[in-house]
Each structure stands twice: as C-alpha cells, then as structure tokens.
Amino acid sequence: MADLIIKGGTLLTMSGKIPEKCDVVVDNGLIKSIQKDTHEEADKIIDAKGCLVMPGLVNAHTHLAMTLFRGYANDLPYGEWIKKIQNAEMKLTPADVRTGAYLGVLEMIKSGTTSFADMYIHMDEVACVVEKTGMRAALGYGMIEGLNEDAETKLKIREKFNRFWNGAANGRITTMYAPHSAASCSKGFLEKVRDLARKDGTRIHIHMLETEDELDFMKSHYNMCSVNLLDSINILGPDTLAAHCIWLSDDDLELLKNKNVNVVHCPTSNIALGAGVARVPEMLDIGINVALGTDGAASGGSLDMWKEMRAAQMLHKPRNPRAMPASVTLGMATVNGARALGINAGMLKAGCFADIIIVDLKKPQFVSADLVTALVNGASGCDVRTTIVDGKVLMEDHEVVGLDEEKIIEDARRIVVD
C-alpha cells in the first residue's frame, strides 16, 4: 500500500513528457509511479480534479528571516539599503530569527515553494524551523569577514553548523558554506572556506557581482572582478551557487559556463535596489544553469515565486519579445532550481522526491490556449491549493497542516522592524 495517491489532476511534469491526466503514486517520500487510473491503494487519496499537479517551486536564493524587515528600507539605492539593513540585523536575537523563519516558511508553504536555499545568521534556529515544519532547504550560515567574531571563530562555528545539520531531518536539510561575497571576505578567508567545503563535501553559496560598486571595488583592490578572483582560488564549479551575477563581462559568462556554475536570478530585488539587469537570456542561450530566487523580503518584497517568475519574464522582453518564454521561466523555478541545490526534485518523475503542489485551475486567469503561459503570467501563491514535501502534506485545500498560522503571524507582528 502506498502512502499517498493524487488522482484525476492535469499533470505538468517538467520532465519532457506531459500526460493528460494521470494518478501520482507516492511512497516513502518519493514518487513511486505516474500512471492512468492506478489500482494501487494508499493511506491517503487526494482528489485533484480541476487542478494542476506539478513539481513544487524552488527558491534558490533568499534570506528567510528578513521577512521581519519587509518594508523597512524601501526606495533606497543598494549602498544605503545595505547599511540600514545591517544595522538592524545586528540587533536580531536567535529568537527573532526563529520567528522570522517561521513566517517565511509559512509564506512559502502557502505559495507553493517546497525547497529553498537560505543564507543568513543564527542559522541553527532556521534549521530547527525547517526540521519542524517539514520543508526542504539548503542552509548556509552567512559570513562577512570582520563582522562580529574573528575569522577563525567564524569558520569554526560554520564548520560545526555544516557538520551537524547536513543530511538532517531525514535528508530534507543540506548545508552550504555561505561567504557573503568576494568583496566582503578576503582572498585568504575564501580559500579557507573552499577547503572546508571540499573537506565536508558541501556546496558554496555566495553573492556575485550584484552591484557595480562591487565590480569597482574588486578591480581597485585586486585588479580583477569577483568572478576572476573566485576562479583563481578554485571556488567556481558545479557545487557553486552564485546569486545575482549582474555585472558580468562576455569573458565572465564563458567562464561560468565552462565551470558549470549555478547562477540564481533575483529580478524583483535587483529592480527594487537599482542594482541592474542580469544577462539571463544570454546565460541560458550558452547553457548556464540559471535558477530563480526571491532574495530576502526586505528587498524583494515577498517570497512568492510566481511573482518572481513574472518579473523574470517581463524584465527581459523589452529588447527581445522572444526572450524568456514561459516554459523556460517555469523551468528556472523548478528543474533548474533543484539542479542548483543538488536535490532530486523539480520534476514529476518516478524516483524523484515527492515535492508536489496542486494549483486550482478553476480560475478565470487559467482559461488560455497555453497553460504554462497562463501560469507564469497569471498565477499567484493564492492559487496553490495543496503543498506536499517529502510525501507529507504541509497544506491541503489552503489549510496549513501542523502550524498555528495565526500565532506565527502575531508573533512576527510583535517584533517586526519599523
């Protein structure tokens, strides 16, 4: 007997094959089979008639507890914004981060995100929230050299975090080393991070050329940009998650391609902070794996990946209407994101993690000649009816399971920064 069967829905598999209507059989956290009118029995049956069954969304770059800073530093250029945010972050307690993490996870469950990559502070609290809520996450304890602890202490704390939490929560938690950027960490510090990541067999999550100021700083201090510096110390590779990547040269693009680096595009945040526009269509054209992320809610405004897909698509069309077709954009939020995080998800396929969402198609915006286009152009988190992670139902018929939604929101209201 299987754990769960989702019956009667329209399937969007993201695996190249799109069956009209099939049943999805889930067992032991994995998709066991996809077949028409299965005769298998299960402990739980979900009727998905009139709905779309598809892979859960992957938010490949965020700072989860920054939900507490939503609206706090609006309408500021990046330099002023980051100073205001960092001053506020210095006052956050571990309990505050836990509260902000609960709020962020709640927002993601309700909007159909099943996996995310997080880089922040007090990350043991975030890991505990992920473990308790049933989400899947790749967690990195952020590092800015010279801030708070000395470098060696900082590295020891991160090493301990990585080794304790990697593979925890039945494998739903993986860890990454997370130096903030090449501009905020010295070359020697980054080399130590690289050595630890290789020793522990974990990935590296880093901001890369988010602003023109970073590019100017790197050229003045190292006579090279962040991409070249990181390449010179052998950090770049398929286990690197590089957020933003806006100020890239043609040579940088080729280098990222040749090193198989995973890039994360965060269009809403980049627009809000006036950081620039990443060359995403060109990256995709040459074969770079580009995922999608919301960044923190302090800059991106929300953790709704549907909003981020729409921004990604529209941002790049003014110069070329053929750029960023809906199928490609949706792939960035599913297949590409899973690849960037190194998880067996992003598709509905036998053997993949049962990270699945069910979208209510009985809405006017989904009456369309092309369903994928309708999703990317018109869907929002409110259209997600059910969210499943690791075969466990976290939200069913818009009701979040096992979490006190009202308490999470009220706890956050009491400490939100204004």
Cβ–Cβ under 8 Å, residues 306 and 262? no
Question: Quick one: pLDDT at residue 150?
Answer: 80
CATH homologous superfamily, domain 57-341? Metal-dependent hydrolases (3.20.20.140)
Question: Angle, nearest 10°, between helix axes 371-378 and 305-315?
Answer: 100
Residue 342 CB coordination number (10 Å): 15
Handedness of CA 251, 257, 259, 262 (dihedral sign): positive
Nearest-angstrom CA–CA distance, 86 and 23: 48
Nearest-angstrom CA–CA distance, 248 and 126: 32
Question: Quick one: pLDDT at residue 20?
Answer: 67
Residue 295 CB coordination number (10 Å): 29
Nearest 5°: CA angle at 12, between 403 and 244?
70
Cβ–Cβ under 8 Å, residues 85 and 72? yes
Question: Quick one: pLDDT at residue 418?
Answer: 63
DSSP 244-284: E--S--HHHHHHHHHTTPEEEE-HHHHHHTT-----HHHHH
Nearest-angstrom CA–CA distance, 417 and 147: 21
Fold of 2-55+347-400: Urease, subunit C; domain 1 (2.30.40)
Question: Angle, nearest 10°, between helix axes 151-165 and 123-133?
Answer: 10
Residue type, 349: K
**What distance separates the 2 farthest-apart alpha carbons in the chain?**
67
Nearest-angstrom CA–CA distance, 57 and 115: 7
pLDDT by residue for the chain (418 residues), tens only, comes to: 999 999 999 999 998 766 568 999 999 999 999 998 888 999 999 999 999 999 999 999 999 999 999 999 999 999 999 999 999 999 999 999 999 999 999 999 999 999 999 999 999 999 999 999 999 999 999 999 977 678 889 999 999 999 999 999 999 999 999 999 999 999 999 999 999 999 999 999 999 999 999 999 999 999 999 999 999 999 999 999 999 999 999 999 999 999 999 999 999 999 999 999 999 999 999 999 999 999 999 999 999 999 999 999 999 998 899 999 999 999 999 999 999 999 999 999 999 999 999 999 999 999 999 999 999 999 999 999 999 999 999 999 999 999 999 999 999 999 986 6
* Domain regions of the chain by residue span: 2-55+347-400, 57-341
Nearest-angstrom CA–CA distance, 328 and 336: 10
**What letter would DSSP give residue 56?**
P
Question: Quick one: pLDDT at residue 17?
Answer: 65
Closest among 271, 360, 262 to 315, alpha carbons compared = 271
Nearest-angstrom CA–CA distance, 253 and 293: 19
Question: Quick one: pLDDT at residue 147?
Answer: 73
